[in-house]
Structure 1
Amino acid sequence: MGFERVVSILQDKRSNYDTDVFTPILDEIQRMTGARPYAGRVGDDDVDGIDTAYRVVADHVRTLTFAITDGAVPDNEGAGYTVRRILRRGSRYIRKKFDVPTGNFFSRLSRVLVEQMGDVYPEIRQRPQDLVEMLDEEERSFARTLDRGERLFTSVTQKMKAEGKTE
């Protein structure tokens, strides 16, 4: 049984995300995005997908912060590739569901986690600037890639429409 599940039992909460482990992160996501507050909706009840996005981003910032602090580096292979994919998945949720720019979202959000967990996991406080720089570099790089892809897609679809091609 994991830490978060034990906390949810001890705090008599239905979900890990309703505990004081996650609520500071969820509150900060809401503050940073201006989205409606987290309501804990799941499945078909989460019609707009915002609650799912809250959970994904909160979970991903925790994973990224601890993994990078433990020495993982975003890369194209091995564990580094997993870290890269986690950041990119979270970035897509930030852009698509919260409709806010990416580039330094995770580094700003990670500060809440460092403050919250730094006494229990002091290693996450040891090199905060390295964490910020790594998150920002990776997030900005992916944002540029997405921007280029979106521009290219728009250009191609406009050209096809102008030529009367619909399929």
Structure 2
Amino acid sequence: MGLERLASVMQNVPSNFDIDIFSPIMKHISVLSKSGAYSGRVGSADTNERDASYRIVADHLRGTVVALADGVVPSAVDSGFIIRKMLRRLFWHAVNRLGIDRFACSELVPVVIDTLTPAYPELAHCGENVSKCVMEEEDRYWNILDKGNTIFEQMRLNMPANESIFSGENAWILHDTHGIPIEITEDLTKKHGLVVDNERFVALKEEAKMLSKSKSNFSTRFSPDTTGLEDCSSDDAKYEYSLNADGSYLFPQIVTKVVAAFDKDQRVPSFSSSGSVVVENCQFYAEEGGQKCDRGVLEVNEERRLALMRAHSATHLLNWALRRVGAGRGQRGSAIDEDFLRFDYATDDCAGEDDTINNYQMKTE
């Protein structure tokens, strides 16, 4: 039993959303709402889904406030993308189901922080920045949604007469190109007596995932059974290098032997076109560990290795510079490739141009 469910039992209230830590949030939502007070209805009893929207807004806002205060920044990738989706879902329910004015959701942030500060005192110092972030995300969301609504109307008007199925292709375009969640598309179609072809939408989504994987620089093509080979191979040589007289890096060549060969998942004595091998010693850098994998024809591509090393070192310099100037709250992740570098760090505010210049000067000292 979760802590909040236990609290609902101890406080003798119907649900988690009626306990003391949620009550102030629900009451303030009611103040902003034009659809009536929360009544705790669920399932078929919640005929207009108003109470479900109350719960979504309260739950999602509380979760995102904590994440934003902890340094997660709304974005199109990783944890930032999850936070962005949660915010956009609560914005939609707040305005379309509860009648809350646009851009009013940020007014709920201080209430959420007040309920959590006794357990998380550090939240007390983050209110202004979190409210600002919520406001900026809502502004971005409504710009996207208004544009998406216009495109949806064009799609609807271009449908054949008497057609009741909104195509999965159109739903995918709204989702993938214009950032309109499928739940919102379903609600829009319902208002016009239409039904989304969800089966086709899901198929297109899966196709996009597979295409993304196939374009990735690194993917696990095979999963061979390497039982018994764990101690037959070493990649310690990847850390061995020296400097030429001119200061350039020199990666040594090593003598090794093939101890196993695989054609897809099957161990074979040889293969003709493609496959994988386990070698006794290897100087290739594998995926993970801070940077992308080496490539080569049984020899390291030195140009790629050097580019990866430069980018990897750059992340350490960036992290050092941020700590030195006291900016943000530390590195949260990175993506390193030979021609691309992304450095993620937590901050209470967006880094401006002056911060970028100062950071650059620190690294070049």
In structure 1, the partner of 2:14 is 14
Cα distance in 1 between the residues matched to 2:84 and 2:119: 26
CA contact (8 A) 1:95 1:102 kept: yes
Q: Which residue of 2 aligns with 1:111?
A: 110
Question: What is the one-letter code of the residue matched to 2:81?
Answer: Y
Quick one: structure 1 residues 4 and 83, their matched pair in 2 at CA, closer, same or farther if it must change by over 3 Å? same
> CA–CA distance in 2 between the matches of 1:54 and 1:101?
15
Other-structure match for 2:136:
137
Structure 1 residue ranges, 4+ long, deviating more than 2 angstroms after superposition: 99-104, 151-158, 164-167
- The structural deviation recorded for 1:75 is 1.0
Q: Which sits farther off after the overlay, 95-104 or 122-131? A: 95-104
SS at match of 1:89: helix
What secondary structure sits across from 1:140 in the alignment? helix
The alignment yields a C-alpha RMSD, in angstroms, of: 1.9
Change (3 A) 1:73 1:104: farther
Shift of 1:100: 3.2
Conserved? CA contact 1:42–1:52, under 8 Å: yes
* Aligned equivalent of 2:28: 28
Match of 2:44 in 1: 44
Tell me the alpha carbon deviations over residues 91-129 of structure 1, each in whole angstroms, 9 at most, x when there is no partner: 111122123333341x21111111222222111111221
What does 1:61-140 align with in structure 2 at a 5 Å threshold? Answer: 61-105=61-105, 107-140=106-139
Change (3 A) 1:78 1:142: same
Structure number with larger C-alpha Rg? 2
SS of the residue corresponding to residue 71 of structure 1 reads coil
Task: Identify if the C-alpha distance between structure 1 residues 66 and 128 changes in structure 2 by more than 3 Å, giving closer, same or farther.
Answer: same
Unpaired segments ≥5 residues, structure 2: 164-365
Q: Offset at 1:157?
A: 4.2
Question: Does the 8 Å CA contact 2:32/2:101 hold for their aligned counterparts?
Answer: no
Distance in 1 between the 2:78 and 2:136 partners?
19
**CA separation in 2, counterparts of 1:126 and 1:11?**
30
Greater alpha carbon shift after TM alignment, 29-38 vs 148-157: 148-157
Task: Say which structure is richer in helix.
Answer: 1
Unpaired runs of at least 5, structure 1? none
> Which residue identity does 2:31 align to in structure 1?
R
- Contact 2:60–2:90, Cα closer than 8 Å, also in 1: yes
91-100 vs 50-59, which moves further: 91-100
Count matched residues: 163
Contact 2:103–2:135 (Cα < 8 Å) also in 1: yes
Deviations 1:60-93 (A, max 9, x none): 1110111111111111111111101111111111
The residue type paired with residue 38 of structure 1 is Y
Task: Work out the percentage of aligned pairs sharing the same amino acid.
Answer: 32
1:19 Cα deviation from its structure 2 partner: 1.2
CA distance in 2, matches of 1:74, 1:49: 27
Cα deviation code 1:24-53 (max 9, x no counterpart): 111111100122111111000000100000
CA contact (8 A) 2:117 2:123 kept: yes
Higher relative contact order (CA 8 A, sep 6+): 1
TM-score w.r.t. the length of structure 2 is 0.42
